[in-house]
Chains A and B, each alone.
Chain A
Amino acid sequence: MNQVLMSVGILLAGAVLALLTSKLPRICTFLGAGSAVAACAFGVLPAWNAFNSVGPYESQRWNWSMPEGADFIVQLDVLSALFLLPVLFVSGLSAIYGSQYLFAARYHKQLGPPWFFYNSMVASMILVLLARNAVLFLIAWEVMSLAAFFLITFEDEKPGVLEAGRIFLIATHLGTAFLLVFFILLGQRLGSLNFDKAPPDGIMSSATSSLLFVLMLVGFGTKAGLMPFHVWLPEAHPVAPSHVSAVLSAVMIKTGIYGLLRFLAFLGPPSEWWAWVLIVLGLVSGILGALCALAQRDLKRLLAYSSVDNIGIIALGMGIGLLGVQTRNAALSVLGFGGALLHVVNHSLFKGLLFLGAGAVQTATGTRDMEKLGGLLKKMPRTALGFLVGALAISGLPPLNGFMGEFLIYLAAFREEIRLTNPMVSVPALIVIASLAMIGGLAMLCFVKAYCIVFLGEPRTQLAQEAKTPGFFMWVPQLVLALACLLTGMFASRVLGTLGPVLTSLTKFESDVVQGELQEAAGLLSHIAMLSAALLAMIAVLGLFRWFLLMGREVGSTNTWACGFSAPTPRLQYTGSSLVQPVTSLLAMLLPMRTNLNPPQGYFPQSASLSTETFDFWQERLYKPVFALIGWALSKLRWLQHGLTHLYVLYIAVTVLVLLIWFLGMRA
């Protein structure tokens, strides 16, 4: 516990030092990145120990002068540790990566501020996970968001970056507004803003707890990127420096999931419709997220949408888990929540990996537009290998870790008990099976596109032709994460086995019941790991067999066959857009698309062009109209604004007077 607080201290010290040495890029990078790496390495061991302990959990309590008798309380329990481990792991590796990534910008940018904000973002993320007091939680939450804002707008000279930052700032503050109300209401019911102890039962009416659930869902859902509150992800993630996008997408959005899980326990017994809401939001996020992802040309935007899709999978798991809690079915809740938690960890690893890979591609070629890339495997083999592992994992394919979490959620939806209880429970299970299968297919198409168009084939433009090999500090973190993906896949049963205490507190079942269910599921996972090992062995044997067959035989090389056409150019290759065109045209109603067609005209056409642009369904159909309406309503108040200073002084004086009269009137 104290060690984790010390790593927060190291991070903050590093942040300040980096800011002070901003004029000296080399030292500043060393201090900024070095302190982040050191702090993360320092914190991993205590976090790992806490993750494996069964309680009682260490906590620290100090008094601080905050209203409502709140204390500065931090605690490290298994749920915190589960989220803390990926935070430390991914942030540390991203800092190593970032040291080289940012260093390239040293001639026209000061490196102090980005390292200051990076370290404070990581420190505040750790505090969010440790805080057991609403005021502390909100302060850390806010620092995290603001630091993220300044990191996102690092390259503010480029077009669209400030706009993206603004969307992020508005979205995250709207979310925080809901959380503020949530914490005030919750604090009123609990009688304290501390939440280090589980509350007594029956202190809340079901109406209150439902209201709290909605507030929490919007507030935390905005951070997590659950559709329809996801609009900031596809804007903010592409423009941020890549090591920051990796942290944002891999771990920061998970703090939203953490919040949901942490505070569900305070709301008392769940209503049935909560599970329904989660499952429907999961379905929408999952399928629309995957669909939007595969329609993108911008590699990092594709990854951002795919985070929405994975948050959808997590929400499906949580929905099934809640259903189990609500119907008092241990197996259902353990498998649902267990699958969701496993997917949280897995997604942190492979999404971090993919963003680092995308950043390497951007550094090497200067573009994120997939249609301009191609053939990069030959220029950057290690990045290509890492990205392949990430792509396989995120498509949920065995033997990698992505499959394991999804498998548990499937297993929950297949449970025997579901249909014996009631049809209102079996229908969500059906939705989960169908939507997971759909998401799987779409995600695979999406990542076949992302991987193959970028790394395989011939370079499509000069940019890809002249790609530079990324430096040492940029590829090592990727391969470490790739290895982590493989290992968490192989040892998923081990990770799942330690979730007992978390699941006991989430599901409120007896701990031996939960353990029993976990053992069964972990047995299946280790069986799958065995089969995966067998599969890898089989691949190796077949590889050797092929090598043996070709040994001593003639192996020639030639051009790709182009049906007799002898001078193919790279432009003849299939593009990413055409690769996914069958899907985007079939599901066009879910995927609004603008097509600008300038058809060839006349007998000797001079020019012709076709361009398509996919836009976000929710942003276009929901947020733009709503914000336009608000803007219109506010424009009616424009007569108040004159730009004359003394008028504003008058406004202030009048306001103070009115408040004074109101206050005195209350007194009387």
Chain B
Amino acid sequence: MKMEMCVPSSWISSCGGLLAAGGAASELTWSRIAVQCVPTMLALALSPLMLGIINRTKAVMAGRQGPPMFQPYYDLAKLLGKGAVYSRTTTWIFRAGPIVGLAVMLMATLLVPLGGSSDEDAAPLGFGGDLILLAYLLGLARFFMVAAALDTGSAFCGMGASREVFYSALAEPALLMGLAATERAIGRYYVLDHSGGMLSLSEIHVVLSNDAGTIWAQGALILALVAVSLVVVLLSENSRIPIDDPKTHLELTMIHEVMVLDHGGPDLAFILYAKALKLWVLSALLVGLVVPANTGSLGLNIAITVLAIFGVAFLVGMIESVMARLRLPRVPQLLVAAMALAGLALVLEYREVAAP
């Protein structure tokens, strides 16, 4: 009896929480909901453009003209229009992989804030502790992508799967510790009165953007360490140079591209789109930390943030133009270094308060 009484009420209250910002109560109006949908819509619409920008940057740096900026959109449209061919070895796991991967990335875009500098402009689904959920959602997508790769029974896919899981096992602690350090460093300026004593990603961004000068001045070292480790995580999670080479699936770069070797048609479109969204989400995290825009106008904030996200794409393109891919045995070292930086940031953060 008690169960029937209890569950719906708690679900309804969290239903409200879904639409309100990260636990902080706000008026539920249609315009509010519309405003909260804008960042998500932007992410959905603009994320493939990031891939276009990266490719254009690389082309220009190499003295080529390169494909049009909107090439990823053409690719997506073409792939969505195709039929499919499946290996006889594969099962429903292979077909589920791209679907779960895309669903997870769509969820992730709903958790990560985009230029909101007040509680009302927070990410639609954010809550205290969403950064933990984000890291584990990425894990869920990875599990299914890797399972889909191994489902083909191909040695190449197996090789890619092995490396993908291994590198992300190292990148995940780095991401989590980096976000933890940020949360701690910023939570200091914020009196908590709710939600399990932990800031949501949106609240982190709100606090940071409202007092960016002071916070960066006082915690510059911590935030810079986190930013550096986030860049490495971003490159690794999105399989970019120097960890992986997105251009090819051939012998020595067998990580992400080789995992999806057997996918085609709409499945590949899902994978491509999920990849773009992942790049967008992690870039938005980085931008939120480094360029916490607060101009007083939400539209302008969002515009600045989106430009900065494209800036990240440009940066990734530059890195890809000037660096070679690392030898495989070197990659774990880079990731462990990122983990160490994030860990150091966390230690510094704890020490800073503990010292006096």
A553 close to B82 (CB less than 8 A): yes
Min CB distance, A547 to chain B, in Å?
A: 10
A457 touches B266 (CB 8 A): no
CA distance A560 to B85 in the complex (A): 10
Binds B, one of A145-153, A416-424, A616-624: A416-424
CA distance A640 to B187 in the complex (A): 71
Stretch at the interface among B294-302, B303-311, B342-350: B342-350
Query: Bound state CA distance, A396 and B169, in angstroms?
Result: 13
Count of interface residues, chain B, beta-carbon cutoff 8 Å: 95
Separation of A32 and B45 alpha carbons in the complex (Å): 62
In the complex, what residues of A have CB within 8 A of residue B261's CB? Answer: 561
- B146 & A448 in contact (Cβ 8 Å cutoff): yes
Among the listed stretches A71-79, A86-94, A211-219, A573-581, which one makes contact with chain B, having 4 or more residues with CB under 8 Å of it? A573-581
Given contacts A440-B136, A556-B85, A574-B162, contact A458 B153 (CB under 8 A): yes
A570, B83: Cα distance in complex, Å: 28
In the assembled complex, B270 has its CB within 8 A of some CB on chain A: yes
Chain A residues with CB under 8 A of B86: 555-558
Partner of A542, one of B7, B198, B270: B270
B18 at the A/B interface (Cβ < 8 Å)?
yes
Binary flags per residue of A581-613, CB closer than 8 Å to B gives 1, else 0: 111001000000000000000000000000000
Q: Which residues of B contact A433 (CB under 8 A)?
A: 176-177, 180, 346
B36 vs chain A, min Cβ distance (A)? 15
**Candidates A388, A410, A574, A582; contact of B129 at CB < 8 Å:** A410
**Contact check: which of B132, B169, B184 meets A444 at CB < 8 Å?**
B169
Interface residues of B in 195-242 (CB under 8 A from A): 195-198
Q: How long is the Cα–Cα vector from A414 to B197 in the complex, in angstroms?
A: 8
Which residues between 451 and 507 of chain A lie within 8 Å of chain B, taking CB atoms? Answer: 451-453, 456-458, 491, 493-494, 497
**Cβ of B343: which chain A residues have Cβ within 8 Å of it?**
430, 434
A374 to B98 alpha-carbon distance, docked (Å): 22
Q: Is B65 an interface residue (CB 8 A)?
A: no
Segment touching A, from B9-17, B25-33, B56-64, B113-121: B9-17
**Interface flag for B248 (CB, 8 Å):** no
State how many residues of chain A have any CB contact under 8 Å with chain B.
Answer: 94
The answer, among A374, A388, A556, A563, for a CB contact under 8 Å with B83, is: A556
In the bound complex, residues from chain A placing their C-beta under 8 Å from that of B80 are: 549
A534: chain B residues at CB < 8 Å are: 107, 125
Which chain A residues lie closer than 8 Å to B346 at the CB level? 430, 433-434
Q: With A494-B3, A530-B15 as given contacts, are A539 and B99 in contact (CB-CB < 8 Å)? A: yes
Instruction: Tell me how far the C-beta of B22 lies from the nearest C-beta in chain A, rounded to whole angstroms.
Output: 10
Partner of B350, one of A426, A457, A530: A426
The answer to whether B153 and A407 touch across the interface, beta carbons within 8 angstroms, is: no
Asked whether A434 and B173 contact (CB < 8 A) given A410-B132, A528-B133, A570-B153, the answer is yes
Nearest B-chain residue to A408, judged by Cβ: B196
Q: Is the CB of A581 within 8 A of B82?
A: no
CB distance from A487 to the nearest CB of B (A): 11
The answer on a CB contact under 8 Å between B99 and A546 is: yes
- A-contacting residues, B242-280, CB 8 Å: 261-262, 265-267, 270
Would you call A582 and B153 a contact (CB within 8 A)?
no
CB distance from B35 to the nearest CB of A (A): 20
Q: Is B320 on the interface with A (CB-CB < 8 A)? A: no
Q: Is the CB of A523 within 8 A of B354?
A: no
Query: Cβ of A315 < 8 Å from any Cβ of B?
Result: no
A574, closest chain B residue (CB) = B158
Set of chain B residues within 8 Å of A579, measured between Cβ atoms? 150, 158, 161-162, 165
Q: Which residues of A contact B42 (CB under 8 A)?
A: none
Given A414-B183, A458-B153, check contact A441 B170 (CB 8 Å). Answer: yes
- List residues of chain A with CB within 8 A of the CB of B137: 398, 535
Known: A437-B173, A456-B147, A524-B128. A560 touches B162 (CB 8 A): no
List of A residues within 8 angstroms of B129 by Cβ:
407, 410-411, 414, 524
B-contact 0/1 string along A542-567, CB 8 Å cutoff: 11001001100111111111110000
Which residues, 203 to 247 on A, are CB-close (under 8 Å) to B?
Answer: none
Known A-B contacts A563-B156, A572-B155; A416 and B10 likewise in contact (beta carbons under 8 Å): no
* Interfacial chain A residues near B270, Cβ < 8 Å: 542, 546
Report the minimal beta-carbon distance from A559 to chain B, rounded to whole angstroms.
Answer: 6
Q: Please state if B354 and A395 are interface contacts (CB–CB under 8 Å).
A: no
**Is A331 located at the chain interface by the 8 A CB criterion?**
yes
User: CA A430 – CA B347 in complex, angstroms?
Assistant: 8
Known A-B contacts A430-B346, A445-B169; the reply to A522 vs B10 at CB < 8 A is yes
Q: A430-B347, A441-B170, A572-B155 are in contact. Are A542 and B103 (CB under 8 A)?
A: yes
Q: A430-B347, A555-B84, A563-B156 in contact; A582/B166 too (CB < 8 A)?
A: yes
A378 within 8 A of B: yes
How many angstroms between the C-alpha atoms of A392 and B143 in the bound complex? 8
Known interface pairs A433-B346, A558-B87, A560-B152; A444-B139 also in contact (CB < 8 Å) = yes
Q: How far is the CB of A332 from chain B (nearest CB, A)?
A: 9
Q: Complex formed: what's the CA distance from A530 to B133 in Å?
A: 13
Q: Which of B106, B165, B332, B350 has the most CB of A within 10 A?
A: B165
Residues of A within 8 A of B183 (CB): 414
In the assembled complex, which residues on chain A have CB atoms less than 8 Å from the CB atom of B13?
Answer: 523, 526
A530 CB contacts on chain B under 8 angstroms = 11, 14-15, 17-18
Residues on B with C-beta less than 8 A from A437 are 135, 172-173, 176-177
Stretch among B66-74, B88-96, B281-289 lining the A interface? B88-96
Of the residues B2, B166, B187, contact of A416 by C-beta under 8 Å: B187
Asked if A521 is an interface residue, CB under 8 A from chain B, the answer is: yes
- Give the docked Cα–Cα distance between A538 and B102 (Å): 9
A52 interfacial contact with B, CB 8 Å: yes
B192 within 8 A of A: yes
Known: A398-B136, A522-B10, A553-B82. A458 touches B197 (CB 8 A): no
Say whether B89 contacts A538, CB under 8 Å: no
Q: What separation, in Å, do the CA atoms of A582 and B332 have in the docked complex?
A: 9
Check if A654 is an interface residue, CB within 8 A of chain B. no
Q: Are B266 and A549 in contact (CB under 8 A)?
A: yes
Asked if B155 and A574 sit within 8 Å, CB to CB, the answer is yes
Cβ of B267: which chain A residues have Cβ within 8 Å of it?
A: 546
Q: Complex formed: what's the CA distance from A521 to B10 in Å?
A: 12
Min CB distance B92 to A, Å, is: 8
On whether the beta carbons of A539 and B100 are closer than 8 Å, the reply is yes
Interface pair B168/A377, CB less than 8 Å apart = no
Please name the residue on chain A nearest to B1 by beta carbon.
A52
Chain B residues with CB under 8 Å of A429's CB are 350
B151 close to A452 (CB less than 8 A) = yes
Q: A419-B353, A524-B195, A574-B155 are in contact. Are A456 and B99 (CB under 8 A)?
A: no
The answer to whether A535 and B153 have CB atoms under 8 Å apart is no
**Interface set, chain A 305-342, CB cutoff 8 A to B:** 331, 335
Which interface residue of A403, A430, A441, A453 has the most chain B CB atoms within 10 A?
A441
Q: How far is the CA of A491 from the CA of B6 in the complex (A)?
A: 11
Check A542 against B99 for contact (C-beta < 8 Å): yes
Question: How far does the alpha carbon of A292 sit from the alpha carbon of B10 in the complex, in Å?
Answer: 41
Contact partner of A583 among B136, B154, B169, CB < 8 A? Answer: B169
List the B side residues contacting A448 at CB < 8 Å.
143, 146-147, 150, 161, 165
A6 at the interface (CB under 8 A from B): no
B2–chain A nearest beta-carbon distance, Å: 6
Closest to A335 in B: B196
Q: Please tell me if the beta carbons of A535 and B350 are within 8 angstroms of each other in the complex.
A: no
Q: Which residues 616-648 of A have a CB within 8 angstroms of B?
A: none
Tell me how far the C-beta of A404 lies from the nearest C-beta in chain B, rounded to whole angstroms: 11
C-alpha spacing A166/B6, complex, angstroms: 49
Show 16 residue pairs from A and B whose CB-CB distance is below 8 angstroms, ordered by the A residue. A331-B197, A335-B196, A397-B136, A398-B140, A407-B133, A411-B129, A414-B183, A419-B349, A448-B147, A497-B6, A527-B17, A530-B15, A557-B86, A560-B153, A573-B155, A579-B165
When A and B form their complex, which 5 residue pairs have the shortest distance between CB atoms, in order from nearest?
Answer: A574-B158, A441-B169, A457-B153, A437-B173, A452-B150
11 further A-B pairs in the complex, CB-CB below 8 A; given A430-B350, A440-B139, A554-B83: A410-B132, A440-B172, A444-B139, A445-B166, A452-B147, A524-B129, A527-B18, A546-B98, A553-B83, A557-B85, A559-B88
